[in-house]
A and B are shown apart, each in its own frame.
Chain A
Amino acid sequence: MHNAHAQAVSIGGIRAGGDLVARMQMTRGMRLKEAKRYVADRLGVTPFDLSDPVVMTEVRNELGFGRIHSYAISQPLQANQIEAKFNIARALDVPINCVERFRERTGGA
């Protein structure tokens, strides 16, 4: 069921920019157009680009937002997981709770 919904209508999560738009909706209560516009403006792309894996893979690489990884597509030198969320918080100018906790628990890293 999830796959059908995802293929039919989803932005695509970290394959593209879906997680970034979702973050603005979830924690800022932004409606879709506003959230897409906000994220696109912060990243210097268009709202249309946010669901394009080709454009967004480049953006994610450049900004260290993390991306799909496997042993066949390894990016050991790029930010991922909690590291990526530090970069996302800075780029979107929104505090991310777990990033703030990480800072607190690692002596303000």
Chain B
Amino acid sequence: MSTEPRIPTRLGDGSFTEMTRSGIRADIVAGSEAAARRAKVPPLGDDEVDHLLEIYASPARFTGVDVGEEVVLSCDGTGMKTHATRIQDLQSYEQWMGADLLELCVGDYSLKVVRTILAYEAQYMHDAQLCTIAPLQYGVMPNLGLYSKPDGPCENWSALLPLGRIAEARAAAEEAVEMAVADMVKLADSQWEAGADAIDWDTTGASGDPEFLAALRATRIIRARYPDMGVQLGMAGEFVLGMHGQLEWEGVRLAGLWPRDQLLLAQQAGATVFGPVVNINTGRSLAWNMARAVALIKPCMAVAEIPVHPNVGMGVGGVPMFVYPPGDATCRAAKSLVELLHVDGL
């Protein structure tokens, strides 16, 4: 029986467990190798494994980066009527929580829902800009699925695919892309007129390659129309699902892209900030998850020409899949991404 001391740490679902230092190291190596096998990325080097080990084998309740090494937090969902009106929420994040930037949004967060209330949202942006200082973006998730029946007008590709009606499924997804691009551009038009600093496409690609294509197309149109308007393009997952399978952006097939290639297309389309995502495996340790996330995102950093802000919300980027992520886990995820990858923000 091992006499090696056991250290409190957590699993991907947030629950506490205890592991030895050598067990944590083994998990870091395994997480890195899992990323290398799946995405054909290089595994972490020994120095990176050791760095992660120092972070995850520490019993400290809290940790952070060195003074002077701080990054920007692109705080999505900060104006969502969490505890007061949406403008008061934005002011709270700015004044009390020191948010580097702010985001106005509606609780549903879906593009198709917002398209029916553009004027109201533009008015709110106008009013919010008068009483805040930090840059303020408008955020939605493209959520292309809502454009399919029974929620939307297009045939439901998820229902057609299991029936083998592949061509009809693809046609339906393509129709939805056209609608979503038009709605995204209309949203940007109204928000720009209201004074918004930027638009945030959050959880892009949740409906697979059609949704990623819609975001890329809309981004290019918006940046050409309003060169001073930022576009943040954040992903839904580490891998673009091939719900259509044949869609391309300038000759690059979208289905199956990993973070590095997602970034290349996002910056080609004109995005000003890219947010890669690596999903949590709830049954593995946070050390395993973090090593996998670092290995998957690392190739982005060598080719990035725009800021890279990995997503570190609930269930992504080494943050547990729990509705109130524990602070000890959250700070470790943030420190790991900043120190190992030198990301531009989170």
Contacts and interface: CB of A to CB of B under 8 A. Distances in A.
A25 B273 contact: yes
Contact of A12 (B70, B137, B192, B335): B70
A79 B217 CA distance: 40
A47 B335 CA distance: 19
B139 to A, nearest CB: 12
B72 A5 contact: no
Nearest to A98: B195
A85 B314 CA distance: 33
Interface of B is mostly: loop
Interface in B149-175: none
Contacts of A32: 71-72, 307, 342-345
Interface string A19-35: 10111011111111001
Contact of B307 (A1, A2, A31): A31
A5 to B, nearest CB: 5
B208 to A, nearest CB: 26
A8 B346 CA distance: 11
Contact of A14 (B133, B193, B330): B133
A33 B252 CA distance: 30
A37 interface: no
Given A13-B98, A31-B306, A97-B196, A3 B327 contact: yes
B75 A2 contact: yes
A22 B232 CA distance: 12
B99 A13 contact: yes
Interface stretch (B25-33, B89-97, B179-187): B89-97
Interface stretch (B40-48, B124-132, B254-262): B124-132
Nearest to A15: B98
A9 to B, nearest CB: 4
Interface in A51-103: 51, 65-66, 68-70, 80-82, 84-85, 88, 94-98, 101-102
A5 B197 contact: no
A69 B95 contact: yes
Given A5-B331, A9-B71, A26 B232 contact: yes
Interface string B61-99: 011110111111111001000000000000001110111
Interface in B308-341: 312-314, 319, 324-325, 327, 330-331, 334-335, 338
B272 A28 contact: yes
Nearest to B339: A9
A15 B305 CA distance: 28
Contacts of B78: 2
B106 interface: no
A82 B97 contact: no
B230 interface: yes
Contacts of B314: 1
Contact of B273 (A12, A26, A68, A101): A26
18 contacts: A1-B324, A4-B334, A7-B64, A8-B331, A9-B64, A9-B334, A10-B73, A18-B98, A25-B344, A26-B197, A27-B135, A28-B272, A29-B272, A31-B305, A32-B307, A32-B342, A97-B196, A101-B193
7 pairs of A and B residues whose beta carbons are closest in the complex: A98-B195, A18-B100, A98-B129, A13-B98, A8-B331, A4-B330, A29-B272
Interface of B: 62-65, 67-75, 78, 93-95, 97-101, 126, 129-137, 192-198, 228-230, 232, 267, 271-273, 304-307, 312-314, 319, 324-325, 327, 330-331, 334-335, 338, 342-346
Interface of A: 1-16, 18-19, 21-23, 25-32, 35, 47-48, 51, 65-66, 68-70, 80-82, 84-85, 88, 94-98, 101-102
